[in-house]
Amino acid sequence: MSNTDYRLFYRRNLPHYQPANATLFVTFRLAGSLPVEILQRLREEYEHTVVAFDKTLSLRERSEMEYAVQRRFFGRMDAYLDTGGYGPRWLEEPAIAQMVMESLHFRHGHVYDLDTLSIMPTHAHILFSPLHSNSGKPHSLSSIMQSLKGYTAYKANEILGREGSFWHHESYDHVVRDTEEHERIVKYILNNPVKAGLAAAWRDWPWNYTKR
């Protein structure tokens, strides 16, 4: 099996889970946009908390607790990214943000159904549902992100006149569990520029999109 084949579950530094017919919330960021020591500390805290779960809990209870821990992990990571005080801010270049926006829209109807997105100076949030390929299985998250990040990295480096890593190698992803969470995530994505002080209202941010 190649690293772009559809898999229900896979794990690199973070857990990744893709059930069929899922809607996925994905955040991907620029290489060097977070200090290594902060990431290491967050991961250690995450792993320590999960390992410390009461072994007598039911599978459902442990799943709920791990979900809560993952949300805290993501929230703290995203808060660091929103400050924009570390690493490059290449996505604030209009030409690069526009190119990434167009690339995200280009894949709509081909490999996923695009719901909502926001491109921030150091990272991007997207909400989409992978479509099924000719094999009858959904396009894998790994193949979607590999294609998207590979192409946009090449084009961005061309615009910037540089070489080297553009995106961080791994993305954060989460399976949307129900309608209530879906609406919460849509609001979170669209209001991220407002929360970061980049726009007065979500409709004012040129790199926001929602199909609503």
Query: Percentage of the chain with pLDDT > 70?
Result: 92
Give the DSSP H/E element, type plus range, for residue 172: strand 172-175
Strands 123-130 and 112-119: antiparallel
Question: What CA–CA distance (Å, rounded) separates 159 from 161?
Answer: 6
CA atoms within 13 A of residue 179's CA, in its CB half-sphere: 0
**What are the backbone angles phi and psi of residue 29, rounded to the nearest 5°?**
-135, 165
Higher pLDDT, 116 or 57: 116
The mean per-residue pLDDT over the stretch 134-163 comes to: 94
The residue among 81, 93, 106 whose CA lies nearest residue 29 is 81
Domain extents for the chain? Answer: 19-31+89-210
**Would the pLDDT of 79 be above 90?**
no
Question: What CA–CA distance (Å, rounded) separates 118 from 116?
Answer: 7
- Residue 13's pLDDT band, with cuts at 50, 70 and 90, is very low
According to CATH, the topology of domain 19-31+89-210 is Alpha-Beta Plaits (3.30.70)
Provide the 8-state DSSP code for 173.
Answer: E
Tell the burial category of 9 from Cβ atoms under 10 Å away from its Cβ (0-12, 13-18, 19+): exposed
**Would the pLDDT of 191 be above 90?**
yes
Summary mean pLDDT of the chain: 86
Provide the 8-state DSSP code for 167.
Answer: B
DSSP letters spanning 98-165: HHHHHHHHHTBTTTEEEEEEEE-SSEEEEEEEEPB-TTSSBPPHHHHHHHHHHHHHHHHHHHHT--S-
CB 176 within 8 A of CB 24: yes
